[in-house]
A and B are shown apart, each in its own frame.
Chain A
Amino acid sequence: SQTIHQWPATLVQPVGSPLSLECTVEGTSNPNLYWYRQAAGRGLQLLFYSVGIGQISSEVPQNLSASRPQDRQFILSSKKLLLSDSGFYLCAWSEFQGQAHNEQFFGPGTRLTVL
């Protein structure tokens, strides 16, 4: 069966520090991968998605970047964190079939607090 992992679970970082959040998927090959952010009291905003190794699409301009160094690994990074980067970061995956109805499976999330 497929599983998705995120770490760390929680993170407190000072403004201006770097960030690296990791997401890995097991039990599937060539998945679509997604990073979402959930700010306090708000819905989920898509940040990045990837359809293959090294292929990253950015949905919104921001202080963050994403990379996919391996098929089932998706990394969210920042060189210098801002206060507005605080939130709950969710990684998700879906089967790579190109059909619109594929279900997305979410990881447990990382709660980031920038002070």
Chain B
Amino acid sequence: AQSVTQLDSQVPVFEEAPVELRCNYSSSVSVYLFWYVQYPNQGLQLLLKYLSGSTLVKGINGFEAEFNKSQTSFHLRKPSVHISDTAEYFCARRGPGRRALTFGSGTRLQVQP
């Protein structure tokens, strides 16, 4: 079965510090990976996606993620966070033959001043 694991339910970090949000997925022949952000009481907004090609993917708001096939990971990083980055972040995958996304349980990023 296709699955996505986000190991950290909450990540507190100070403003201007770097952050990494971890995501691991169940192995598949081919996989498409996504990171979404959800601000309180809002829908989801796509941060970045990996489809193929370069394993380092750059997204909006200064975020980037690295696809690591051997470790089946797709960790999200930002070198310096802002208060406005406080939100819930979801990792998701879509495998072959699947129309819908499989989401992880989410990681709440709390940026403190």
User: Which residues does A use to contact B, with CB under 8 Å?
Assistant: 32, 34, 36, 41-46, 49, 51, 59, 90, 92, 94, 100-101, 103-109, 111
Interfacial residues of chain B within 7-58, with CB under 8 A of chain A in the complex: 9, 30, 32, 34, 36, 41-46, 49, 51
C-alpha spacing A105/B101, complex, angstroms:
12
Counting residue pairs across A and B whose Cβ atoms lie within 8 Å, the total is 56
Q: Give chain A residues whose Cβ lies under 8 Å from the Cβ of B104.
A: 43
- Residue B96 at the chain A interface, CB threshold 8 Å: yes
Majority-rule SS of A interface residues: strand
A46 lies within 8 A of B101 (CB): yes
Nearest-neighbor residue (CB-CB) of A35 within chain B: B100
CB B34 to nearest CB in A, in angstroms, measures: 8
Question: Given A59-B100, A100-B95, A100-B96: A43 and B44 within 8 A (CB)?
Answer: no
Nearest-neighbor residue (CB-CB) of B33 within chain A: A101
* CB-contact partner of A103 in B42, B46, B90, B97, under 8 A: B46
A109 lies within 8 A of B41 (CB): yes
Return 30 A-B CB contacts under 8 Å, by A number.
A32-B99, A36-B103, A41-B9, A43-B6, A43-B103, A43-B104, A43-B105, A44-B90, A44-B103, A45-B103, A46-B101, A49-B100, A51-B99, A90-B43, A92-B44, A94-B99, A100-B30, A100-B95, A100-B96, A100-B97, A101-B32, A101-B94, A103-B34, A103-B49, A104-B101, A106-B44, A107-B43, A108-B42, A108-B43, A109-B42
C-alpha spacing A83/B34, complex, angstroms:
32
Q: Give chain B residues whose Cβ lies under 8 Å from the Cβ of A106.
A: 36, 43-45
Name the residue in B32, B98, B99, B106 with the highest tally of chain A Cβ atoms < 10 Å from its Cβ.
B99
Q: Give chain A residues whose Cβ lies under 8 Å from the Cβ of B6.
A: 43
CB A96 to nearest CB in B, in angstroms, measures: 9
Known: A90-B44, A103-B46. 15 other contacts (CB 8 A): A36-B103, A42-B105, A42-B106, A49-B100, A51-B99, A100-B98, A101-B32, A101-B94, A104-B101, A106-B36, A106-B44, A106-B45, A107-B43, A108-B43, A109-B41
